[in-house]
Amino acid sequence: MSVPTPHIRALEGDFAKTVLMPGDPLRAKFIAETFLENARLVTDVRNMLGFTGTYHGKPVSVMGAGMGIPSIGIYSMELYRFYGVETILRVGSAGSMREDVKVMDLVLAQGACTDSNWGAQYRLRGTFAPIADFGLLRRAVEIAEGLGIRTRVGNVLSADAFYDDQEDFNAGWRKMGVLAVEMEAAGLYMNAARCGKKALALLTISDELLTGIALPAEQRQTSFREMMEVALELA
């Protein structure tokens, strides 16, 4: 397949080697307008907006990923395979599954458990363990600690269902020490592994599932900026 792809209208060379991927395309627009210099729109197919600019002189792209593994699976695969992207940083929110993981904490997903069937396509004789690129993870920890950001590193759950029919479907994962739940990291990590590329999910805790505490809108913006500072320094 050549570019443009069925889902991205950008041309060859339009994307930087590193792409930040929030779920919301309007958040991608906000990141481009707020943090990047000379940002330009490079794709808008299905209103999944993507931009390329510079951060402190270094080329960086940002593009929406949508919700769930099937959505980020399409966009990340096309970026890796057809646009020469080497690194994708997922920047998003997550729900805490543990009492010691609080709102505004930054979770760096060392690994991503999942109840998705995404990995079945590889026909492995076992269960693949989706993990982050260690170099990215190590640098992200160093950057966050240097900025004084409360950071947790460990397993997250990439769930297929946002509204699950089971009353406490997270209980088993909590017993296994999983820190938080989101919906995309495992698929991104598997695509990165398959393509021989790099990926890391940086997640701001927006709500605590055990206590019901949720981050107010103003604090969401503050914690989001902290996460973005880590991601952009990492890019």
Give the catalytic positions in this structure: 207
Separation CA 166–CA 1 (nearest Å): 41
DSSP structural state of residue 15 = S
Answer for the pair 78, 192: CB distance below 8 angstroms, yes or no. no
Answer for the pair 19, 89: CB distance below 8 angstroms, yes or no. yes
CA-to-CA separations, 42 to 11, 20, 54, 145, 177, in angstroms, rounded: 8, 14, 14, 34, 40
Answer for the pair 92, 112: CB distance below 8 angstroms, yes or no. no
Going by DSSP bridges, is the β-strand pair 18-21/58-63 parallel, antiparallel, or unpaired? parallel
- Residues whose CB is less than 8 angstroms from the CB of residue 21 and which lie 6 or more positions away in sequence, other chains included: 28, 62, 63, 64, 65, 72, 75, 76, 88, 89, 90, 91, 188
